[in-house]
Amino acid sequence: MTGLANDTLHDTLLWAPQAWVDGRWQAGVALRIDAASGLWAEVRPDVPPPPGTRVLPGPLLPGLVNAHSHAFQRAFAGLAERREGENDDFWSWRDRMYAVALRMSPEALEAVATQLYAELLQGGYTQVCEFHYLHHAPDGRPYPDPLAMSHALMRAAGATGIGLTLLPVLYQRAGFTQPALREDQRRFATDVERLLTWRDSVRAARQPCVNAGVAIHSLRAAPAEAIARLQRALEGDAGPIHLHIAEQTAEVDDCLAATGRRPIEWLLQNVALDARWQLVHATHATADEIDGVARSGAGVVICPSTEANLGDGLTDVPRWLGAGTVLSIGSDSHVGRQWPAELKLLEYGQRLQLRRRNVAAAPQAQQPATAARLYQRMLHGGAPAAGFARWGFEPGARADWLVLDLQAPGLLGVPASHALDALVFATEGLAFVEVGVAGHPVLRDGALPAQAAIAQRFAATMAELWAPA
Ligand code: ZN
């Protein structure tokens, strides 16, 4: 043995024939989990299986952070794919989505989020950032427990084993020129003080694998004074700060009309951005804005399946990548729930637009593999989005892992060096046979132990939510 010792009786040793360490596949990797903390204690490539180790059946990848989720929208996936009028766009979708939001009780949210989080684990995500604005009861009054909806999300995370970054959302007005919320936005109302109180309550609950930051819904939904006040209150706090920024051209136009600046331009001029800030849907960005965000160290969260579903538009992926921007992936409205499919769609949008192949690859930087470059960037960028200093297979990072299913049709017989390429571009359906979070396998044989019961409860909740009035 080469010195990788089973230090205590409770530590766990894993060994994989190949694992993603330091941005590439490495062979014969032993990993030791510190049982007390659920973090990696040691990662050592190029060793034979140590005595007492559990040998994993396939290549090992770190899980990805899902950096943008509205869990309740899982109940709406697949139910907005019909057009009844002349036009259907983001804004008509949003009106229908609000109708779902108004029907969601804490019990329904828990059932929907539990199903979603189980699916996200199956899809290769081990942490999810909840951009949570469904604060109050359907009539707009606070619940007796103001965190009733947050607790539903925390119970869902606890039941499935996924890590959760809860981001209570500041939501104060319907638009740049509308000082109040719309009637159908009454559940979202909050202010800076309540937002910080809720964040602190989530942190004080100390639920394992749950942390908290904050979010600002968007520049249109929060006045500049509130953003400034929040920014001052967050000085010295390490938690992430997320906001929707430039998803739709109409919100770019509204921002220009109201402030004389485009949304990202306004943000760069008025907020001291840093690595805590996460710009969700920085879709409509000029070259100067992209370079400015890259220099600030802020992250950008891209949600390919939702952005495609809502007709948002394509962002300039080569420019974001080339500028060195910190990038991560979100599944947002949850029409897609697997990260390999998100990476494929991200690349395919560029191929279709530019009529070229392997747009995200960078052979000049010795990164010819598109999937590897995208995956590595999202792996790196997910950490700050979820408030982690370390992520992946390195000592001190949380011990999360995915075991690739070598029996998945798209991976059968593929050379080990091309497993990630085949996972992203040639594998349809689920491809992870085991998923671990914080040192424990939460999913084995491709499913959670409680998967059937979770699905049954979700189906019953859907039947109630969608019962004819
Ligand atoms: Zn969103």
Return the CATH number at 444: 2.30.40.10
Q: Would residue 281 show up in a list of annotated catalytic residues for this protein?
A: yes
Q: Which residues of the chain have pLDDT under 70?
A: 1-10
Q: What was the pLDDT predicted at 2?
A: 42
Of 386, 410, 441, which one is at a domain's C-terminal end? 386
Are 58 and 68 in the same domain?
A: no
Question: Taking the model in full, what pTM does it have?
Answer: 0.96
Based on the domain organization, do 78 and 207 belong to the same domain? yes
Is the same domain home to 372 and 404? no
Q: What is the pLDDT of residue 286?
A: 97
Distance 307 CA to ligand 1 centre (A): 10
Question: What is the residue range of 89's domain?
Answer: 64-386
Asked about 332 being catalytic, the answer comes back as yes
Whether 239 is in a domain gets the answer: yes
CATH number for the domain including 251? 3.20.20.140
Helix (H) or strand (E) holding 301: strand 299-302
Same domain, 168 and 45: no
Would you say residue 96 lies in a domain?
yes
Nearby residues of 225 by Cβ (< 8 Å), 6 or more positions away: none
Domain boundary pick from 386, 418, 435: 386
Distance CA 376, CA 47 (A): 23
CA–CA separation, 57 and 72 (whole Å): 35
The answer to whether position 462 is within a domain reads: no
Amino acid 1: pLDDT: 37
Which entry of 332, 334, 400, 405 is annotated as an active-site residue?
A: 332
Q: Could you say which DSSP state residue 417 is in?
A: G
Asked if residues 403 and 57 have their Cβ atoms less than 8 Å apart, the reply is: yes
Strand partners, 443: 435
Question: Ligand 1 centroid vs 131 CA: distance in angstroms?
Answer: 7
* Tens-digit pLDDT profile for residues 423-453: 999 999 999 999 999 999 999 999 999 999 9
Residues 140 and 351: their CA atoms lie apart, in Å, by 45
Pairing of strands 326-329, 214-216: unpaired
**Residue 163 CA to ligand 1 centre (angstroms):** 19
- Residues 70, 17, single domain; the answer is no
What's the rounded Cα separation, in Å, for the pair 334 and 305?
A: 8
Among 281, 312, 334, 405, the active-site one is 281
Kind and range of the H or E element at 194? Answer: helix 192-205
Q: What is the pLDDT of residue 88?
A: 82
Question: Domains in the chain: how many in total?
Answer: 2
Residues 68 and 54 in one domain: no
DSSP state, 56? P
How many angstroms is it from 244 CA to the middle of ligand 1? 6
